[in-house]
């Protein structure tokens, strides 16, 4: 089954998990919340045989809870903590979109303009590529296909990674016409990799250098990198897989560190850093950011407003961020991710000044990572949440 069909089906399931109600009951204190979270997570870990996860929660302008569970490597005793590094998979796209919008603020990119205005040497076999806009790539409506195994590259240097990948598309056709209505099948990792190339051409820096300097460093994400080799070996977690027939869980011999996929899925990070990322975004949105942030408030607000919808569901997309509007509690913005050996989810509720991230070093429990753990935790706070 197509990976992104699964993703969108789980987005729909996500909506179903949010059953928030108002209550006048007295609220548990902070320590009680932490005990409840810990008990809940340990129970789920045992039930679903999860190797390892790391959790981060931000609430009311502070890191409310971070903790690691399980092991970095199923074969040895290597406990996970809030600084243990995981591949964040498609959560990486939020950082690519942020970098694009920084360049928009600087007047260097207009998202309504064509891709070829910024990468004039971009060519495909299908001439409709000339109509692709930056906004369409941000919203997965460009018509670009997902390009996987047959176009892996072996770049001569980091400077050539995304250019080499773009060259591979010369013989490809679009999957859909540009500005296609958003659906599960229009989701395109390729589009985000080419956005990375746009960032390089406009900024004159490699994608990794630009995002590290202008996004990660400003958000104080010192333990994160788009280059796996730059992650301290002692902080890394191993990818795990479940064998199809025996159901045995083992370390995978494949780490999805693909040069061309940095913009779409190669951010290596940890719960602590992603808590800082969520706090940084919330402080911009709430107007409490004291120093210059990664974005202006009006830009971030625009990135959290619906641009394309998927009728009849209440899930939509903005500029990188997915949005769900629930009748039962309000709006939240999010992104999920999965790759061989990893799964992740990150959710922010702006109105509740709340965010949660779950990182896992296995793919097989992705439904639990996306739909069960975060919302079971959120339900602990249901009595104080606003709709």
User: What does the pLDDT look like over 309-323, one tens digit per residue?
Assistant: 988 778 999 999 999
Return the percentage of the chain with pLDDT > 90, whole number. 79
Q: Tokens 């490597």 — which residue? A: 73
What pLDDT was estimated at residue 12?
A: 35
What are the structure tokens assigned to 173, written together?
């056709």
| 383 vs 280, residue with greater confidence | 280
DSSP string, 286-308: HT---S--SS-HHHHHHHTS-SE
User: Tell me, what's the pLDDT at 212?
Assistant: 97
Q: Between residues 17 and 354, which one has the greater pLDDT?
A: 354
- For residue 220, give both structure tokens: 């104080």
Report which secondary-structure segment, H or E, holds 149. none
pLDDT digits (tens, 9 = 90+) for 218-268: 999 999 999 999 999 999 999 999 988 888 999 999 998 888 899 999 999
Q: What residues does each domain of the chain span?
A: 3-90+236-249+269-384
Q: What is the mean pLDDT of residues 96-120?
A: 98
Bridge partners, residue 335, by sequence: 346
Q: Is the pTM of this model over 0.75?
A: yes
Residue 148: its pLDDT value, please?
Answer: 63
Residues 160, 108, 257, 245: is their CA dihedral positive or negative?
negative
Mean pLDDT calculated for residue range 361-369 = 97
pLDDT of residue 20: 30
- Local structure of residue 128 (DSSP, 8 states): G
188 compared with 12, residue with greater pLDDT? 188
Reported confidence tier of residue 87, pLDDT bands at 50, 70, 90: very high
Residue 6 is predicted with a pLDDT of 33
Can you give the pLDDT at residue 289? 86
Cβ-based neighbour number of residue 23 at 10 Å: 11
Which among 3, 2, 10, 1 has a CA at the least distance from the CA of 322? 10
- The side-by-side arrangement of strands in the sheet containing 52-59 is 62-70, 52-59, 354-360, 342-349, 330-339, 322-326, 315-317, 308-309
Q: Which two tokens stand for residue 87?
A: 């591949």
Neighbours of 42 (CB within 10 A): 12
Q: In this predicted structure, which of 24-38, 97-111, 127-141, 147-161 has the lowest mean pLDDT? A: 147-161
- What mean pLDDT, rounded, does the chain reach? 90
Q: How far is CA 169 from CA 119, 137, 377, in A?
A: 13, 15, 43
Instruction: Report the chain's C-alpha Rg in angstroms.
Output: 20
Asked if residue 83 has pLDDT above 90, the reply is yes
| 7 pLDDT higher than 70 | no
Kindly state the tokens that stand for 204. Answer: 């004159």
Percent of the chain with pLDDT over 70: 90
Residue of 305, 304, 316 whose CA lies nearest to 278: 304
**310: number of Cβ within 10 Å:** 18
Coil vs helix vs strand at 251: strand
Lowest mean pLDDT among 73-82, 133-142, 283-292: 283-292
What pLDDT score was predicted for residue 2? 34
pLDDT at 153: 62
Which DSSP symbol is given to 143? Answer: -
- The 10s digit of each residue's pLDDT in 132-170 is 999 999 999 999 998 765 456 666 767 889 999 999 899
Report residue 361's pLDDT band, with 50, 70 and 90 as the boundaries.
very high
| Mean pLDDT computed over 169-189 | 95
Residue 113 to residue 136: CA distance in whole angstroms? 10
Class of domain 3-90+236-249+269-384: alpha beta
**pLDDT digits 0-9 by tens, 45-61:** 999 999 999 999 999 99
Answer yes or no: is pLDDT of 27 > 60.
Answer: no
């Amino acid at each position: 089954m197509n990976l992104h069909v699964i993703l969108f089906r789980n987005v729909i399931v996500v909506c179903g998990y949010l059953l928030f109600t108002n209550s006048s009951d007295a609220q548990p204190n902070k320590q009680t919340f932490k005990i409840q979270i810990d008990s809940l997570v340990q129970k789920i870990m045992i039930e679903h045989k999860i190797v390892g996860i790391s959790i981060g929660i931000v609430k009311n302008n502070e890191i409310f809870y971070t903790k690691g569970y399980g092991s970095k490597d199923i074969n040895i005793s290597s406990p996970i903590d809030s600084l243990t590094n995981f591949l964040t998979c498609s959560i990486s796209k939020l950082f690519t979109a942020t970098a694009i919008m920084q360049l928009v603020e600087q007047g260097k990119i207009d998202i309504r303009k064509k891709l070829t205005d910024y990468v004039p040497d971009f060519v495909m076999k299908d001439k409709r590529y000339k109509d692709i806009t930056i906004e369409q790539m941000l919203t997965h409506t460009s018509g670009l296909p997902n390009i996987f195994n047959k176009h892996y590259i072996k770049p001569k240097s980091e400077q050539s990674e995304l250019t080499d990948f773009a060259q591979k598309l010369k013989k490809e056709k679009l999957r859909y016409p540009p500005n296609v209505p958003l659906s599960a099948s229009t989701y395109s990792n390729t589009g985000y990799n080419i956005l990375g190339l746009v960032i390089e051409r406009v900024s004159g820096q490699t994608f990794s250098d630009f995002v590290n300097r202008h996004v990660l460093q400003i958000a104080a994400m010192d333990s994160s990198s788009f280059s796996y080799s730059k992650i301290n070996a002692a902080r890394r977690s191993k990818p795990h897989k479940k064998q199809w027939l025996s159901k045995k869980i083992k370390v995978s011999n494949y780490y999805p560190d693909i040069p061309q996929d940095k913009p779409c899925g190669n951010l290596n990070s940890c719960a602590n850093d992603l808590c800082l990322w969520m706090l940084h975004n919330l402080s911009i949105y709430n107007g409490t950011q004291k120093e210059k942030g990664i974005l202006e408030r009006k830009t971030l607000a625009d990135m959290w407003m619906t641009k394309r919808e998927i009728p009849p569901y209440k899930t939509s997309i903005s500029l990188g961020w997915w949005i769900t509007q629930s009748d039962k509690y309000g709006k939240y913005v999010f992104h999920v991710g999965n790759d061989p050996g990893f799964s992740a989810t990150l959710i922010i509720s702006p109105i509740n000044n709340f965010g949660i991230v779950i990182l896992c070093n296995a793919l097989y429990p992705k439904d639990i990572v996306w739909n069960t753990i975060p919302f079971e935790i959120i339900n602990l706070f249901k009595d104080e949440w606003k709709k």
